[in-house]
Chains A and B, each alone.
Chain A
């Protein structure tokens, strides 16, 4: 999966767990929390989705790596390769 494909996959997972988020408006460099009130429940659901769909288990201590789309993609690229 190249970076673009991975970003698309992450966005899909994001809107699966938070269907009230508009994927088209997500700004990659800004934290989800500041864009659409992403909270601890969203983060946990997101981590569960990443484990289930991509097989990547994100330890709680590394949740900060999931804070924005850019951070997520960077983190997942490192974990997937």
Chain B
């Protein structure tokens, strides 16, 4: 029997998407983790990976179709031995049409296409404003993504008579795009506030050791290997999740399930508005350098519209850091089905009492929004203290 390949979850706030493109065709061999399709969502185009090994038997959804999460997109023959083995028992061989016509598996591994059009959310808006068909453009941004400059160049070459009536069309399109993402965020956050009994805690601690360690590390390595304070935060949260249960997991079907792996999601603000929170996979197992590398890649891809479905659905807890926005503290809202979220304000120099004397120190306020169905304040306080303790000992990260 062929297996069904379904549109995977795209994160709490997305229920559907529009299939843009297939990267595979019937007869192609696929393996776990291959990007097989691109789906356009309220949060930009998302690469959809397959988590089956086998051979694509039938494509069920054509490009341009709007599909809900969970819809069957294709059928995949996972019993590859039955398809490729010659003279295998016919009772197990699936009724694939003419298996003999299927080329040897090694020869059919589809190369992942890199020439497909990609477009940043900002460039997409610009294209809609200007009435440019972004899909037809050759991008000059990273990985060939279409940039606002590409869109504007294209627009200047289009005859005025060919352009759609600008103002009305553009305004409508921009409004639709922005309201799409806003509606998705609104839906998830409303559901969260409706269903999750949040409790909030915060703690302000002296992070001078981490700041000093970071400055000295960054001064001693090439520019490309410098770390951001956010990388330390991400790692500290991940490590604390290992020892404090009840914060990294999912509340589903009336019960809580702790996740075996810790995937810290990082809230990334998109320029011009909007937010996505892709995950750094297996965060606690990674070195600081690897966490930093992932963080950089996620921020870049989030802003260029190149995230993967698995990254959006994976977070077991989210960190939202508003340090760059120069706020003292964040009171974040949990993204269901998660049960906790950590907020970080800006690191700032403040008067601090050390051994009876007031001294200037670098301090940070961490906050926790957690689900009262799963934990209580005392456990939450220990969890926050655990994160602060990791930051106090940066060498342990």
Contact = CB atoms under 8 A, between A and B. Distances in A.
Co-complex (A, B): yes
A47 B324 CA distance: 17
A24 interface: yes
Contacts of A29: none
A60 B218 contact: yes
A41 B145 CA distance: 20
Interface in A3-41: 15-16, 18-24, 33, 36-37, 39-41
Interface of A is mostly: helix
Contacts of B296: 41, 44-45
- By secondary structure, the B interface counts as helix
Interface of B: 120-123, 126, 141-142, 145, 147-149, 152, 215, 218-219, 222-224, 226, 228-230, 269-272, 295-296, 299-300, 303-304, 323-324
B272 to A, nearest CB: 8
B142 A16 contact: yes
A25 B45 CA distance: 25
A22 B149 contact: yes
A21 B271 contact: yes
Contact of B224 (A22, A33, A41, A51): A51
Given A40-B323, A41-B228, A51-B224, A20 B269 contact: no
A58 interface: yes
B271 A51 contact: no
Contacts of A19: 120, 123, 141-142, 145, 147-148, 303-304
Given A22-B122, A59-B219, A48 B148 contact: no
Nearest to A24: B152
Contacts of B219: 59-60
Given A20-B147, A44-B296, 17 more contacts: A16-B142, A18-B271, A19-B303, A19-B304, A20-B271, A22-B122, A24-B149, A40-B228, A44-B223, A44-B226, A45-B300, A47-B223, A48-B226, A52-B224, A59-B219, A60-B219, A60-B226
Given A40-B324, A41-B299, A45-B296, A20 B226 contact: no
A18 B224 contact: no
Q: Which 8 A-B pairs have the closest CB atoms?
A: A19-B141, A20-B122, A20-B120, A39-B324, A19-B147, A22-B148, A51-B223, A48-B224
A47 B222 CA distance: 11
Interface in A33-78: 33, 36-37, 39-41, 44-45, 47-48, 51-52, 57-60
11 contacts: A16-B141, A20-B270, A22-B148, A22-B149, A23-B149, A40-B324, A44-B223, A48-B226, A51-B222, A52-B224, A59-B219
Residue picked from B296, B304, B324, most chain A C-beta under 10 Å: B324
Q: How large is the interface on A (under 10, 10 to 19, 20 to 34, 35 or more residues)?
A: 20 to 34
Nearest to B151: A22
Nearest to A36: B271
Nearest to A33: B324
B123 A37 contact: no
A20 B324 contact: no
A22 B228 CA distance: 25
Contacts of A37: 269, 271
A56 B270 CA distance: 29
Q: Among the interface residues A15, A39, A52, which one has the most CB atoms of the partner chain B within 10 A?
A: A39
Contact of A20 (B123, B152, B218): B123
Contacts of B303: 18-20
A15 B228 CA distance: 21
B211 to A, nearest CB: 11
A69 to B, nearest CB: 16
A41 B267 CA distance: 13
